[in-house]
Amino acid sequence: MVTRDELLAVYETADQLHSPEAIDAALDKIAAEMKAELGDSNPLILCIMIGGIVPAGLLLPRLDFPLQVDYIHASRYRDKTHGGELKWVVRPSKSLRGRVVVLVDDIHDEGLTLAAIDHECKASGASKVYSAVLINKVHDRKNNTTADFVGLDVEDRYVFGCGMDYKGYWRNAPGIYAVKEES
């Protein structure tokens, strides 16, 4: 179990990679790109829980066109620092048949979770599946996946804030932070 002292120490020593202002600007950019691409398509926005809750909540009011919202919960991390097998907790409640679907998540890391969810959406009849992520982690382990709408890039470090967690905590941190690297 992680202690309160450890959690406070991680936050207090973390490097802030992106400020709340940079996040706002990135969300404005994503919204403009989404409106240009999807504004006439009546998309179904699928928030990927739990990490996608903060980015989706900040993004949705910026999307000034007709859309529907639902959520899914599929995870590879389950409060751990390394991903494992994908586990489905909640599938979409709305039909995806013939719909343009936008997956909204916190981060595009290796892309395994997004790829599995994309595949499931297409198997459920979605006509087109897009992905929107607040953060793209820059490294060469992407498994041939990319996100369609990306807010900001981060270096290949353990990051938290704006939906991303540190051992199940700090999803509520107002910026994007990286755990201090030990020297």
- Rounded to the nearest 5°, which phi and psi values hold at 36? -65, -40
pLDDT mean by block of 10 residues, the chain; 183 residues: 95 97 98 97 96 97 98 73 72 95 95 89 97 95 89 96 96 96 73
Write down the pLDDT at residue 83: 59
Going from the C-alpha of 82 to that of each of 28, 47, 79, 96, 120, the distances in angstroms are 30, 21, 9, 30, 22
Whether pTM > 0.95 for this model: the answer is no
Write down the pLDDT at residue 141: 86
Write down the pLDDT at residue 74: 85
Residue 94 and residue 27: Cα distance in Å, rounded? 25
Q: Which residues pair with 177 in a beta bridge?
A: 16, 160
Q: Which residues pair with 89 in a beta bridge?
A: none
> Which domains, from first to last, does the chain contain?
4-178 (3.40.50.2020)
Write down the pLDDT at residue 88: 82
The H or E element containing residue 47 is strand 44-49
